[in-house]
């Protein structure tokens, strides 16, 4: 390739006015490209294509500085034959070669003929060494060089090189703004995608299919109540002992409701003293108290449009109960130290392990607040009242532990019977901790009784009754299957007695599947009669 051929095919200009007209039309084309830009790589390729075809500047290259690796890397390149080439893995250190010097000096460099400059590295191996070269810095808002735009005029050096350099600098300025805006757009798109992905994960985590572990009557009633109340905005009061999973129920209500796309905000009312609780819930203005160095939104404002979960609601003082009641009734609040009334639209899910009705009778809890909260009450039964769910729940929790530890784990039958024979004062939380400890203490993949530590349990896993002891009703007393006080094991045996020990009939009688009946017979070690 030689310069004479470029003189023949290049679009030589006869006057400065003609060159300005050409640059003006090229800029108009570039503005049209930038107005429709959505992706950085595609936009860079179109800019370089336009510089070649409309601006008479060929072999365009855009390099961007990577501060993490301290390298200037090729971001886009236009070679020839009307095609934008695949970006090569070429990089320069700051100060290295002509391109590196442009970045380091933050100044344009113009070569009348490339072959006259020994520092030109020609790593891309595409330039005509007898033609000029123009490189200009791409600057950020602060004026610092963040990249380089370079190209080669299609004709030998002439008196119009300064005009071409000025034009390239104008393109670099437009390019800098566009890349910055597109980077923000793409970052916003990535954030939105991550947000949507997190929402899908959370909904899956707290969906009904993942939440419904256990088929005892008490838990089936809870699941039914959660399904019904989730689609409405009614206030929910979750009652239950510590460790029964009250926050899990609150999550399920929110993420299966129309408010799922808004915030789910939690606060444990027992974890803060009253003076901090007010600021935490209602927010504060700058200067409201000693450490209030700036304005802060409270949990109510953070949850606006979504759900606020108030755990341990029974622990707040009567004085603060009155302040909370006003927000629940009117949907209005003032930040601490402020006088502006702020409207909020928040769904309340409250939880407590106290008997609030008894607290009302004792004068410890406001009656009007109690009835404001007790619109829809959901009582979570303690684990000792649904021991029939222990095998299924234990296996569910074991799967979580096994996944976190990256191995397969299972229980022996005797280990399951041991878990069923315990009274679980700490409920599901204690069961989960016990299983995690047993997994840690187990070298292999099968957890047996020797790895399970149950405080207060008798040797062999018994604590008050033995789940392995065979039980029969003998037909002397007919058990009411709808009596909530009847033990699950006794109810199952009674159903089998009433149906002549036909498992399919007993399943229909209890609203279960034959598979569930068979599983419970095995895990509860019930002696099946042959009739």
Same domain, 373 and 397: no
Classify burial at 55, counting beta carbons within 10 Å of its beta carbon; exposed 0-12, middle 13-18, buried 19 or more. buried
Largest CA distance in the chain: 117
Give the pLDDT band (50/70/90) at residue 63.
confident
| Cα–Cα distance, 46 to 30 (Å, whole number) | 8
**Within-domain flag for 328:** yes
- Report the distance separating Cα 84 and Cα 90, nearest Å: 16
C-alpha gyration radius of the chain: 37
Is the pLDDT at 178 greater than 80? The verdict is no
267-281, 349-363, 383-397, 450-464: lowest mean pLDDT where?
A: 450-464
Q: Would you place residue 479 in the very low, low, confident or very high pLDDT band (cuts 50, 70, 90)? A: low
CATH code (residue 415): 1.10.8.60
The mean predicted confidence, pLDDT, of the chain is: 81
The pLDDT > 70 percentage for the chain reads: 82
pLDDT bracket for residue 2 (50, 70, 90): very low
Please say which residue of 350, 381, 412 terminates a domain: 381
Domain match, 180 and 256 both: no
224-267 residue pLDDT tens: 899 999 999 999 999 999 888 898 899 889 988 999 888 899 99
Confidence class for position 5, pLDDT limits 50, 70, 90 = very low
| 498 within some domain | no
Q: Give which of 300, 309, 318 is closest to 349, Cα–Cα.
A: 309
* Averaged pLDDT, 27-34: 82
Element (H, E) at 221: helix 217-230
Query: Are 297 and 239 within one domain?
Result: yes
197: in domain: no
Q: Is the pLDDT of residue 69 over 70?
A: yes
Least confident window among 375-379, 447-451, 462-466: 462-466
Q: Are residues 162 and 214 in the same domain?
A: no
> What pLDDT band is residue 7 in, cutting at 50, 70 and 90?
very low
Query: Could you tell me if residue 517 is inside a domain?
Result: no
Answer yes or no: are the C-beta atoms of 55 and 23 closer than 8 Å.
Answer: yes
Q: Is the pLDDT of residue 197 over 60?
A: no
Tokens of 355: 């008997």
- The answer as to whether 349 is a domain residue is yes
**What's the total number of domains in the chain?**
3
Per residue in 137-158, pLDDT (tens digit) is 988 888 888 889 999 998 888 8
User: Same domain, yes or no, for 167 and 250?
Assistant: no
User: Of 424, 451, 478, which marks where a domain is finished?
Assistant: 451
| C-alpha span between 233 and 104 (Å, rounded) | 61
Q: Is 351 exposed, middle or buried (0-12, 13-18, 19+ CB in 10 A)?
A: buried
| Sign of the alpha-carbon torsion through 458, 461, 463, 468 | negative
Please give the residue range of the domain that contains residue 153: 3-185
End-to-end CA distance of the chain: 101
Q: Could you tell me if 189 and 40 are in contact, meaning their C-beta atoms sit under 8 angstroms apart?
A: no
Comparison of pLDDT for 431 and 459, the residue scoring more: 431
Residue 96: pLDDT above 60?
Answer: yes
Question: Which tokens belong to 270?
Answer: 């027992």
Mean pLDDT of 495-499: 81
Mean pLDDT of 7-14: 53
Q: Give yes or no: residues 14 and 136 share one domain.
A: yes
Residue of higher predicted confidence among 154 and 133: 133
CATH number at residue 102: 3.30.450.40
- Phi, psi for 82 (deg, rounded to 5): 70, 15
Same domain, yes or no: 11 and 93: yes
For residue 333, is it within any domain?
Answer: yes
CA distance 9 to 333: 76
Residue 38 pLDDT grade (very low, low, confident, very high; cuts 50, 70, 90): low
Taking residues 30-42, what's their average pLDDT? 75
Nearest CA-CA partner of 520 in 428, 529, 528:
528
99 with 212, same domain: the answer is no
| Span 302-360, pLDDT tens digits | 999 999 999 999 999 888 899 899 899 989 998 988 888 999 999 999 999 999 999 99
* Neighbouring residues of 19: CB distance < 8 A, sequence distance ≥ 6: 13, 160, 163, 164
Mapping DSSP onto H, E and C, the string for 321-359 reads HHHHHHHHHHCEECCECCCCCEECCCEEEEEECCCHHHH
pLDDT at 206: 54
For the stretch 392-410, pLDDT in tens is 889 989 998 999 999 999 9
271 shares its domain with 347: yes
Pick 168 or 80 by higher pLDDT.
Answer: 168
Pairing relationship of beta strands 376-379 and 236-239 according to DSSP bridges: parallel
Pairing mode, strands 446-447 and 332-333: unpaired
Asked if 140 and 176 touch (Cβ cutoff 8 Å), the reply is yes
CA dist., res. 488 & res. 471, Å (int): 12
Residues 260 and 222 reside in one and the same domain? yes
**283 phi and psi angles, rounded to 5 deg:** 80, 175
Q: Give the sign of the dihedral formed by CA 87, CA 92, CA 93, CA 99.
A: negative
Domain limit, last residue, from 328, 351, 381: 381
Look at residue 93 and tell me whether its pLDDT is greater than 60. Answer: yes
Tell me the CA distances in angstroms from 458 to 81, 126, 465, one per residue in order: 86, 84, 10
Whether 133 and 155 have beta carbons less than 8 Å apart is answered as no
Residue 305, domain CATH:
3.40.50.300
d(Cα 116, Cα 267) in Å, to the nearest integer?
72
**Token pair 């019904």 is at which residue?**
228
Give a yes or no: residue 480 inside a domain.
no
Highest mean pLDDT, choosing among 39-48, 87-96, 241-250, 513-522: 241-250
Query: Exposed (0-12), middle (13-18) or buried (19+): which is 238, by Cβ within 10 Å?
Result: buried
Quick one: 127 and 245 in the same domain? no
Q: What is the DSSP string of 121-168?
A: --TT--S-TTS-EEEEEEE-TTS-EEEEEEEEESS---TTHHHHHHHH
> β-strand 296-297 against 307-311: which pairing, if any?
unpaired
Q: What does the pLDDT read at residue 463?
A: 43
402-458 per-position pLDDT tens digit: 999 999 999 998 899 899 888 898 899 899 999 999 999 999 999 999 999 888 665
**What was the pLDDT predicted at 102?**
92
Question: Nearest-CA neighbor of 98 among 76, 78, 124?
Answer: 124
**Residues 322 and 222 placed together within one structural domain of the fold:** yes
Beta strand residue intervals within 399-447, DSSP E? 410-411, 446-447
Lowest mean pLDDT among 377-381, 418-422, 464-468: 464-468
């Amino acid at each position: 390739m030689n310069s004479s051929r470029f003189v023949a095919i290049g679009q030589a200009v006869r006057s400065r006015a003609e060159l300005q007209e050409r640059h003006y039309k090229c800029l108009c084309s570039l503005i049209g490209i930038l107005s429709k830009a959505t992706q950085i790589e595609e936009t860079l390729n179109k800019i370089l294509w336009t510089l070649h075809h409309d601006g008479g500047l060929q072999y365009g290259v855009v390099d961007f500085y990577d501060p993490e690796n301290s390298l200037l890397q090729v971001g886009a390149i236009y070679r020839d034959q009307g095609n934008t080439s695949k970006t090569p893995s070429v990089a320069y250190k700051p100060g290295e070669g002509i391109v590196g010097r442009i970045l380091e000096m933050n100044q344009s460099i113009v070569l009348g003929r490339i072959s006259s400059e020994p520092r030109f590295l020609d790593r891309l191996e595409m330039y005509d060494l007898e033609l000029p070269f123009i490189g200009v810095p791409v600057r950020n808002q602060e004026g610092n060089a963040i990249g380089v735009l370079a190209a080669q005029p299609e004709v030998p050096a002439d008196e119009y090189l300064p005009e071409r350099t000025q034009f390239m600098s104008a393109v670099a300025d437009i390019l800098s703004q566009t890349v910055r805006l597109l980077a923000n757009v793409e970052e916003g798109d990535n954030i939105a995608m991550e947000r949507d992905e997190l929402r899908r994960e959370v909904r899956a985590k707290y969906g009904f299919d993942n939440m419904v572990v256990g088929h005892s009557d008490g838990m089936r009633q809870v699941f039914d109540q959660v399904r019904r109340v989730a689609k409405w905005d009614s206030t929910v009061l979750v009652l239950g002992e510590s460790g029964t999973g009250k926050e899990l129920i609150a999550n399920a209500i929110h993420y299966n409701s129309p408010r799922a796309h808004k915030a789910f905000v939690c606060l444990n009312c027992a974890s803060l003293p009253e003076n901090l609780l007010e600021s935490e819930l209602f927010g504060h203005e700058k200067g409201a108290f000693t450490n209030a160095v700036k304005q802060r939104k409270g949990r109510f404002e953070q949850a606006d449009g979504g759900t606020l979960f108030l755990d341990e609601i029974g622990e707040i003082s009567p004085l603060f109960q009155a302040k909370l009641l006003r927000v629940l009734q009117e949907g209005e609040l003032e930040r601490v130290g402020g006088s502006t009334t702020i409207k909020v639209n928040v769904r309340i899910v409250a939880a407590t392990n106290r008997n609030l009705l008894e607290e009302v009778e004792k004068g410890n809890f406001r009656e009007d607040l109690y009835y404001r909260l007790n619109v829809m009450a959901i009582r979570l039964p303690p684990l000792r009242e649904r021991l029939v769910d222990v095998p299924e729940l234990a296996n569910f929790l074991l799967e979580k532990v096994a996944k976190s530890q990256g191995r397969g784990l299972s229980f022996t039958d005797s280990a399951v019977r041991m878990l069923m024979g315990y009274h679980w004062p700490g409920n599901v939380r204690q069961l989960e901790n016990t299983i995690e400890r047993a997994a840690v203490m187990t070298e292999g993949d099968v957890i047996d009784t020797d790895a399970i530590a149950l405080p207060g349990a008798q040797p062999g896993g018994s604590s008050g009754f033995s789940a392995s002891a065979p039980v029969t009703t003998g037909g002397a007393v007919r058990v009411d299957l709808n009596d909530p006080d009847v033990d699950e094991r006794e109810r199952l045996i009674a159903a089998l007695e009433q149906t002549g020990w036909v498992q399919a009939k007993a399943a229909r009688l209890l609203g279960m599947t034959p598979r569930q009946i068979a599983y419970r017979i095995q895990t509860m070690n019930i002696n099946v009669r042959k009739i």
